[in-house]
Amino acid sequence: MNGLPLNLRLRRAMLIALLLGLWAPVKIVWEQQIAREQDNLRYHGLVMNRQMRDELGQGLTIGILSGMRSVVADFIWLEVTTAWENQEWFRMGGLVNLCTSLQPRAPVFWDMGGWQLAWNASVGAERDVTQPNELRRLKAARFWIDKGLDVYKRGIENNPEYWRLWSDTGLLYQQRLKDYKNAAYYYQRASELPNAPVYLERFPAIMYGLAGDDQGAYEAWRALWEKLTPAQREMKEHWKEKIESNIRRLEQKLSVPKEKRVFPN
Amino acid sequence: METSTVAAPPLAVETIGLTKRYPLTWKRKVLVALDGLNLQVKQGEVFGLLGPNGSGKSTTLKLLLGLIVATEGEARVFGLPPESLEARRRVGFLPENPYFYAFLNGDETLRFYGKLCGVTGDKLDKRIEELIDLVGLQNGRERPLRSYSKGMLQRIGLAQALIHDPDLLFLDEPTAGVDPLGSAQIRDLILKLKKMGKTVVFSSHLLEQVQEVADRVAIFSLGKKVLEGSLESLLTENQSTQVLIPAEMNPEQQERLRKFIGQTGVNESEIRFTRPHLSLEQLYLRTVQAQPDFVSKDSPRP
Amino acid sequence: MISSLHRILIIARNTLTEAVRQKVLNVLLIFGLVLICSSVTVSQLATPDIDAAGLFSEQIKFVKDFGCGAIGLFGFFIALLSTALLIPQELDKRTIYTILAKPVRRAEFLLGKFVGVVLLLALSVALMSLAFAATLYWQESVGLAAVEANYAQMDLKHTPTAQSMHDHDAAQIIKQVRDPQLVEAVLLIFAKIVMTAAIGLLISTFATSWIFTIITTFMIYLIGHGESLARTFWLSHGAETTIWQSGLIGLIALLIPDMNSFTIVDEILAGNRVPWHDVLNLLCYANVYVIVLLAVSVVIFDYREI
Ligand SMILES: Nc1ncnc2c1ncn2[C@@H]1O[C@H](COP(=O)(O)OP(=O)(O)O)[C@@H](O)[C@H]1O
Ligand SMILES: [Mg+2]
């Protein structure tokens, strides 16, 4: 029990009030400054809404509130893998959305989520023997491809600097949708980003070739050749021989006048 | 009246109207733990605070250490305010039912408190040796305190209180819960301290233990000091005289002695012959210590 | 001054010794270490397919999230228990009497205790970080082995495309694992738990039971994650609400530390670049906050009757 005399109690209260009173304004201003700084860097991507809270349940919500967001998202992600193994595509789609909303700045969720939907779910739908006919199967497959594409594109909106989302979108256009023009565009964007692997630079030209657009392909190869410095051309990963042979082939095929050719002889 | 400007050596302890009240919030009442205590302890004295449980002894000691703040009145230790570091440099304290860090051994405990008081290096090593010797804890040096007996805890507590060689010691119930043998050892220790010139203020609710050591005592009841004085003056029955004869006497010898004393003018019929009783404690100590293979539980085996 | 510092350090060392010899905290630490190391097995539950799996980025993200999560969680528990148990224990068992009866100021005692707890937390975080690094290294070698195996199976393995794909994949795995930003993450986590310890210390200077200290500190920690919401609301809508509402929200905004800003650790884990400048700003904020909390604790403790 406290037998402290009243005057000392008052003095103590005043000292505490003084300390906190001096600190509080500094604290608020400082915290606002930190928040602005983090906003500028596009952090704090998460806004919890009621729907999300319902989906998470109480335990996981507390986990998130106490700063364990990424661990919570990872646990939900494990469920995505389980749903995939059980071929529960709609559940998987919902879980992918939950993960990406929890951590919109974690590219791996967009990347893997898009892949799960556009490839695994759509291939699953194609092979779904419970569907009455082929047309329905193809429609269902297309539905999942579009879902996956949507995930990729929203992922790109949130993480435009992450090359892999661009190149995976390109891959989807190329291999599942046979839309080589779009594939070329996305590969092109991917190849221009930091950390992108070198081989991507050749993909747009190859896509034009696959689309049967010789003119486009020629321009793309040529642009690539001209972009490379002489020193770069000698590096193995830029595969000079491949670029050169394609340009020569297309210059021949398109009968480009000699004075305009890269390789006149 | 003394008019000299040279101050007399300050009292070891002085309190003026020292009062501590605790508000009992739920009853809108006030508990008076200590009520207007005036006390003076001279340097070199052994002073006993006596009184039943709850009479304000511990409260007095805590006020003298600055652990709690007085509601009214003032306390001085060597003329200094009790909470000042200077005062506490000259004071050692053994709390009631002391408890130390159970995970340290005896040596580590003394080392910790010594360093806290600024004793270091060789000086600390030497001091620890001295104190271990003084309190007789040779076998407790390497043992963790969690394995200590009550008596050993009191003794390490005493050693800890003495580590910085203070001039004044406050001991709160130093013998409470300790067996008679341990009690006796602690009493001997207090006497040794007195011989070293230390001032000792201790509290106890066991009156017997006070007898042999205190120069003066104050008796407390319900927060008030009700009696104070030297043990001599308080305990002597001035109306009688005792003569001790260390031999058995038969009735005939007793008769002759009575006559002989009667010649001095004392009324013969009022003279009584009895045999002195040993206190149970003395009997216990004598018996235990007379055992040929006796070794104190706390001292090293040969 | 020097002797004051000396006494603080003696009490700090004693506190650390006590904590290290205490079973609860050791068990917690061992749990943390086991959890971090076991994150590799959890990470194996994720999609195992290397072709599509974004080069183990899932697994690596798992190990990183779990590692940092475990350091944060167990550091938090250790901070909470060590402040809530160690100081009330001094009062309960009255060891504090023997210390405060010596020429030791109360502020020195309290700061010594806190420094001891911080040393304990630093030790725990360092040990867990070591386990974390080892686990990450293990995950890296698994990833690299898989890349090699994948390459061995590849058709056209000698074309420059295949070769550069292989090199790039390996480099990506190494880059994700050996992310120097993880140092930022661990520092921020450490700052956050030291703040928690300071809050716990403040509460325990006036609390009468350690359960109260633990519950209150935990509540403040949780509310701290919503402080930024309270602050923005109070600054923008303060006038539109009733006095009671704005008073309560204002109190949260003015007194409770902003724990949510430390969730930029999430961004670091997601692989986003967080400049050192921002991290240092946050560390400074935590530091100053701890000093204020300590100052208030010292005032309360100085007047406490024991
Ligand atoms: N912190 C406290 N709060 C309320 N009452 C107290 C407190 N400390 C002591 N008291 C009361 O003060 C009285 C004197 O206690 P104390 O000095 O410990 O007695 P003792 O003589 O046994 O050492 C007791 O009635 C005790 O209940
Ligand atoms: Mg008492």
B48 pLDDT higher than 80: yes
At A31 the pLDDT is 95
CA dist., res. B75 & res. B65, Å (int): 9
**Neighbouring subunits of B (3+ Cβ pairs under 8 A):** A, C
What is the amino acid identity at position B86? Answer: E
Q: Establish if B105 touches chain C: CB-CB under 8 angstroms.
A: no
C182 alpha carbon – ligand 2 mean position (Å)? 56
Q: In Å, how far is A7's CA from the nearest CA of chain B? A: 10
At A7 the pLDDT is 87
CA dist., res. C123 & res. C29, Å (int): 10
How much of chain A exceeds pLDDT 70, in percent?
96
Q: In Å, how far is B209's CA from the nearest CA of chain C? A: 24
B163 pLDDT higher than 60: yes
B301 pLDDT higher than 50: no
pLDDT band for position A44 (50/70/90)?
Answer: low
Q: Establish if A4 touches chain B: CB-CB under 8 angstroms.
A: yes
What is the amino acid identity at position C274? Answer: V
Cβ–Cβ contacts within 10 Å for residue C55, how many? 24
User: CA angle, A20 as apex, A17 and A21 as ends, to 5°?
Assistant: 75
**Per-residue buried b or exposed e for A97-136, using 16+ beta carbons within 10 Å of the residue's own CB:** bbbbbbbbbbbbbbbbbbbbbbbbbbebbeeeeebeeeee
Q: In Å, how far is C3's CA from the nearest CA of chain B? A: 7
Per residue in B26-35, pLDDT tens? 767 888 999 9
Q: In Å, how far is B24's CA from the nearest CA of chain A? A: 8
Asked whether A2 lines ligand 1 (CB < 6 A), one says: no
At B273 the pLDDT is 82
At C296 the pLDDT is 97
**Per-residue buried b or exposed e for A54-92, using 16+ beta carbons within 10 Å of the residue's own CB:** ebbeeebbebbbbbbbbbbbbbbbbbbbebbeeebbeeb
**Atom 5 in ligand 1: residue holding the nearest Cα:** B22
Out of B23, B25, B69, closest to residue A8 by CB: B69
Across the interface, whether the CB atoms of A4 and B22 are under 8 A apart is answered no
Angle between the N-to-C axes of helices A69-85 and C57-92, in degrees from 0 to 180, rounded to the nearest 10: 140
CA dist., res. C125 & res. C197, Å (int): 14
Stated as kind and residue range, the H or E segment containing B270 is none
Chain B interface, mutation test: which of C97, C302, C304, most B Cβ atoms within 10 Å?
A: C97
Q: Establish if B98 touches chain C: CB-CB under 8 angstroms.
A: yes
**Is the Cβ–Cβ distance between C210 and C88 less than 8 Å?**
yes
CA dist., res. A148 & res. A154, Å (int): 10
Per residue in A64-84, pLDDT tens? 767 788 888 888 888 888 898
Across the interface, whether the CB atoms of C172 and A8 are under 8 A apart is answered no
Mean pLDDT of chain B: 85
Q: Which of A61-75, B44-58, B77-91, B247-261 shows the lowest per-residue confidence on average (mean pLDDT)?
A: A61-75
User: CA angle, C223 as apex, C266 and A21 as ends, to 5°?
Assistant: 110
CA dist., res. B41 & res. B278, Å (int): 33
At B300 the pLDDT is 44
Handedness of CA B111, B112, B116, B120 (dihedral sign): positive
Ramachandran angles phi, psi of B176, nearest 5°? -65, 130
B22 alpha carbon – ligand 1 mean position (Å)? 9
Nearest CA in chain B to C97: B95
Nearest CA in chain C to B59: C306
Largest CA distance in chain B: 72
First and final CA of chain C: distance in angstroms?
A: 26
At B299 the pLDDT is 47
Mean pLDDT of chain A: 87
pLDDT band for position A56 (50/70/90)?
Answer: confident
**Is the Cβ–Cβ distance between C151 and C48 less than 8 Å?**
no
Cβ–Cβ contacts within 10 Å for residue B198, how many? 21
Chain B interface, mutation test: which of C98, C111, C302, most B Cβ atoms within 10 Å?
A: C98
Angle between the N-to-C axes of helices A89-102 and A134-158, in degrees from 0 to 180, rounded to the nearest 10: 10
**For residues A126-150, average pLDDT:** 89
Question: Domain map of chain C by residue range?
Answer: 2-302
The secondary structure of C129-151 as a DSSP string is: HHHHHHHHHHHHHHHHHHHHHHH
Asked whether B273 lines ligand 1 (CB < 6 A), one says: no
At C22 the pLDDT is 81
For chain A, positions 74-133, list CB contacts with chain C under 8 A. Answer: 74, 77-78, 81, 84, 103, 105-108, 111-112, 115, 119
**For residues B82-108, average pLDDT:** 91
Per residue in A153-183, pLDDT tens? 999 998 888 899 999 999 999 999 999 999 9
**Is the Cβ–Cβ distance between B125 and B91 less than 8 Å?**
no
- The count of C-alpha atoms lying within 13 angstroms of the C-alpha of A197, restricted to the half-sphere facing its C-beta, is 22
A–B interface: beta-carbon pairs under 8 A: 19
Q: Are strands B13-24 and B29-41 parallel, antiparallel or unpaired?
A: antiparallel
A100 pLDDT higher than 80: yes
At C280 the pLDDT is 96
Record the tokens describing residue B255, joined without a space.
């008769």
Asked whether B58 lines ligand 1 (CB < 6 A), one says: yes
Asked whether B73 lines ligand 1 (CB < 6 A), one says: no
**Neighbouring subunits of A (3+ Cβ pairs under 8 A):** B, C
CA dist., res. B210 & res. B206, Å (int): 7
Which positions ≥6 away from B114 have C-beta within 8 Å?
A: B120, B124, B127, B128, B163, B164
Comparison of pLDDT for A131 and B77, the residue scoring more: B77
The sheet carrying B168-172 orders its strands as B91-94, B168-172, B199-204, B46-50, B216-221, B224-230
pTM: 0.86
B96 alpha carbon – ligand 2 mean position (Å)? 6
Comparison of pLDDT for A186 and B241, the residue scoring more: A186
Asked whether B166 lines ligand 1 (CB < 6 A), one says: no
Out of C231, C266, C289, closest to residue A70 by CB: C266
Find, among C117, C274, C120, the residue nearest to C188 by Cα.
C274
Q: Tell me which of B19, B31, B71 to substitute to probe ligand 1's pocket, judged by most ligand atoms within 8 Å of the beta carbon.
A: B31
**Complex prediction ipTM:** 0.90
Q: Which ligand is nearest to the CA of B50?
A: 1
Give the residues across from B34 on adjacent strands.
Answer: B20
Across the interface, whether the CB atoms of B100 and C98 are under 8 A apart is answered yes
DSSP B35: E
Per residue in B229-264, pLDDT tens? 887 777 776 677 777 887 888 888 888 888 888 888
Which stretches of chain C drop beneath a pLDDT of 70? 45-55, 238-240
Q: Establish if A227 touches chain C: CB-CB under 8 angstroms.
A: no
Which positions ≥6 away from C35 have C-beta within 8 Å?
A: C66, C70, C74
Largest CA distance in chain C: 82
Asked whether B54 lines ligand 1 (CB < 6 A), one says: yes
Q: Establish if A203 touches chain C: CB-CB under 8 angstroms.
A: no
Asked whether B241 lines ligand 1 (CB < 6 A), one says: no
Across the interface, whether the CB atoms of C300 and A16 are under 8 A apart is answered yes
Q: Establish if B21 touches chain A: CB-CB under 8 angstroms.
A: yes
B57 alpha carbon – ligand 2 mean position (Å)? 6
- In chain B, the domains with their CATH numbers are 9-90+176-240 (3.40.50.300), 97-166 (no CATH)
Across the interface, whether the CB atoms of A16 and C192 are under 8 A apart is answered no
Nearest CA in chain B to A3: B22
User: CA angle, A162 as apex, A66 and A225 as ends, to 5°?
Assistant: 170
At A46 the pLDDT is 59
Most confident segment among A142-151, B276-285, C165-174: A142-151
CA dist., res. B35 & res. C236, Å (int): 57
Asked whether B29 lines ligand 1 (CB < 6 A), one says: no
CA dist., res. C72 & res. C268, Å (int): 14
Distances in whole angstroms, Cα of residue B199 to Cα of each of B50, B300, C27: 17, 31, 48
Per residue in A225-242, pLDDT tens? 999 998 988 888 888 888
Residues of C within 8 A of B99 (CB-CB) are: 93-95
User: CA angle, A13 as apex, C202 and C297 as ends, to 5°?
Assistant: 20
B295 pLDDT higher than 60: no
CA dist., res. C250 & res. C198, Å (int): 22
First and final CA of chain A: distance in angstroms?
A: 102
Give the residues across from B218 on adjacent strands.
Answer: B49, B228
CA dist., res. A176 & res. A145, Å (int): 8
Q: Tell me which of B20, B22, B65 to substitute to probe ligand 1's pocket, judged by most ligand atoms within 8 Å of the beta carbon.
A: B22
Per residue in C225-281, pLDDT tens? 889 888 988 888 766 677 787 888 888 889 999 998 998 888 888 777 889 999 999
Comparison of pLDDT for B208 and C152, the residue scoring more: C152
Q: Which residue has the tokens 């952090």?
A: A43
Q: In Å, how far is A17's CA from the nearest CA of chain B? A: 22
CA dist., res. B172 & res. B202, Å (int): 6
CA dist., res. C175 & res. C168, Å (int): 10
CA dist., res. B210 & res. B202, Å (int): 9
The secondary structure of B20-33 as a DSSP string is: EEEEEGGGTEEEEE
**For residues B154-171, average pLDDT:** 93
CA dist., res. C212 & res. B273, Å (int): 68
**Per-residue buried b or exposed e for C146-155, using 16+ beta carbons within 10 Å of the residue's own CB:** bbeeebeeee
Q: Are strands B91-94 and B29-41 parallel, antiparallel or unpaired?
A: unpaired
Asked whether B57 lines ligand 1 (CB < 6 A), one says: yes
Three-state SS at A158:
helix
Across the interface, whether the CB atoms of C305 and A4 are under 8 A apart is answered yes
A105 pLDDT higher than 90: no
Nearest CA in chain C to B169: C101
At B246 the pLDDT is 79
Comparison of pLDDT for B302 and B283, the residue scoring more: B283
Nearest CA in chain C to B101: C95
Across the interface, whether the CB atoms of B71 and A1 are under 8 A apart is answered no
B204 alpha carbon – ligand 2 mean position (Å)? 8
Atom of ligand 1 nearest to the CA of B172: 23
R_g of chain B, CA atoms, integer Å: 23
